[in-house]
Amino acid sequence: MAHRDILKVVDDMRIRQMRGGTVVTHAALNALRSAALKTKATSSRQFLVELRENIKYLMRIRASSIPLSNSLRFVLLDVKQAADRGAYVKELQNVLANSATQFDTKLEESIREIAEIGARRIRDDDVIMTHSYSSSVIAILKRAYQQHKRPRVFVTETRPELEGRDVARELAAEGIDVTLIIDSAVSHFIEDSDKVLIGAEAVAANGAIVNKIGTATIAAVAQRARVRVYAAASTYKFSPETMLGELIEIEERDPSYVLGRSKVKKLPHFAVRNPAFDVTSPQDIDLIITERGVIPPQAAIMIVREQKGVSVP
């Protein structure tokens, strides 16, 4: 059974109090640190068994989140190597805490770098369309505004969970000119847009982007309208498993997010499907903005090849 701190963060994920893969990863690492410090394990073997159980539980909830799986892989590898050297539980606790903090720090640094690099791609008075909640996208737009550029932003509501409203509030609070639009109005407003800027839950080895459902449609509409599509993603969102042909799991969420729990119960005679993410073809992405620079989707394989670690159990 997973530690109660792990169960708490998983509950928070389920009720969607946390937006975006980066935010979820931070919360998961904090829970993993807390659970490790409260462990009752008396041997390194017990500690590793407990750690793997906590990791499995986290992964079942957000299997689509590659920064989460990469962070867990990073921490597990460090702890396993320490255990193989003969470290006792106390040392393993310190190794885990330091490893989680190190990954957290690297992730935060990557977003700051992405903001600097991405802001260079934003011109004064650019009209940007964005979809769903992305820490990297928000950081880019805020940084561009801080550089005295004045982008205007179309933000989709991003149904059914409406995280676009949170994006609109954050950008508007910064002083950015924001217009909130319904998802189905994308083709109407794309003609007025200069660029589409999206985040990513994951990047596959072939350069495909996994992001909130609806992203693939927006990217396809943008390409037909000759509007450039940029994806912002740290290299920690690149999936090593996809190089071996593994598919990124597309999470399907509770139908009650679409209709409401009471209506789902009153209308039992048809199915409601609520996939959380879709896959955008690399052909519909012009560039991927990473903390290491801007790359074409076809170059994603080079970053994936550099990813190291062990498989998450």
Coil, strand or helix: which one is 124? coil
Long-range pairs for 73-79: beta carbons < 8 A, 24 or more residues apart: 73/309, 73/310, 73/311, 73/312, 74/99, 74/103, 74/309, 75/29, 75/32, 75/99, 75/100, 75/103, 76/51, 76/52, 76/309, 76/310, 76/312, 76/313, 77/309, 77/310, 79/47, 79/48, 79/51
Domain finish residue from 98, 113, 128: 113
Are both 212 and 251 inside the same structural domain? yes
Are both 102 and 227 inside the same structural domain? no
Are both 300 and 157 inside the same structural domain? yes
The whole-model pTM stands at 0.87
Q: Is 311 contained in some domain?
A: no
Are both 137 and 214 inside the same structural domain? yes
Q: Is 292 contained in some domain?
A: yes
Backbone φ/ψ region at 234: left (φ over 0), alpha (ψ -120 to 50), beta:
beta
Domain boundaries, position 17: 4-113
Are both 15 and 72 inside the same structural domain? yes
Single-letter amino acid code for the residue at 12:
D
Q: Is 312 contained in some domain?
A: no
Are both 223 and 183 inside the same structural domain? yes
CATH of the domain at 104: 1.20.120.420
Are both 96 and 133 inside the same structural domain? no
> Over its length of 313 residues, how does the chain's per-residue pLDDT go in tens digits?
666 777 777 776 665 555 677 888 888 898 899 889 889 899 999 999 999 999 988 887 676 778 888 899 899 999 999 999 999 999 999 999 999 999 999 999 999 999 999 999 999 999 999 999 999 999 999 999 999 999 999 999 999 999 999 999 999 999 999 999 999 999 999 999 999 999 999 999 999 999 999 999 999 999 999 999 999 999 999 988 787 666 787 888 888 888 877 777 777 778 889 999 999 999 999 999 999 999 999 999 999 888 654 444 4
